[in-house]
Amino acid sequence: MKIKENKIKSGARSVKYGEWFKRAVVAEYEKGILNKDQIQLKYGIGGNSRVLEWCRKYGKLHYPEQGSTGRPMKDPQKQRIKELEQQLKEAKLQLLAYEKLISIAE
């Protein structure tokens, strides 16, 4: 494993990993045997999101972009009302479909 380390003024190390190493880590993560934190411990990878960044770049699976989920509603009751309205809409469509099936069967 070829890793380049650069010392920063504060004493922390900046580590640069090779592309083959990144791809190997991503492949292991995508197998699902170890989670992100376990892989970071196993290989001594620093940073909270480094493995996920590699997954977005080199991974075969779909990883949503950060912040793409949108801003959550501040009021959980409003969110629940929206969810229930959506369920009601779907139930009404299902009822119409069943009524149509019954009328065809008769």
Ordered mean pLDDT values, 10 residues apiece, the chain (106 residues): 54 78 91 90 89 88 64 74 93 93 91
Residue 42: closest CA among 30, 50, 34: 34
Residue 75's pLDDT is what? 75
Residue 106's pLDDT is what? 86
Identify the three-state secondary structure at position 33.
coil
Burial class (CB in 10 A: 0-12, 13-18, 19+), 55: buried
State pTM to two decimals: 0.50
Residue 3's pLDDT is what? 58
Residue 101's pLDDT is what? 92
Helix (H) or strand (E) holding 105: helix 76-105
Residue 93's pLDDT is what? 93
Give, in order, the Cα–Cα distances in Å from 81 to each of 14, 43, 78, 86, 94.
Answer: 48, 46, 5, 9, 20
Residue 71's pLDDT is what? 65
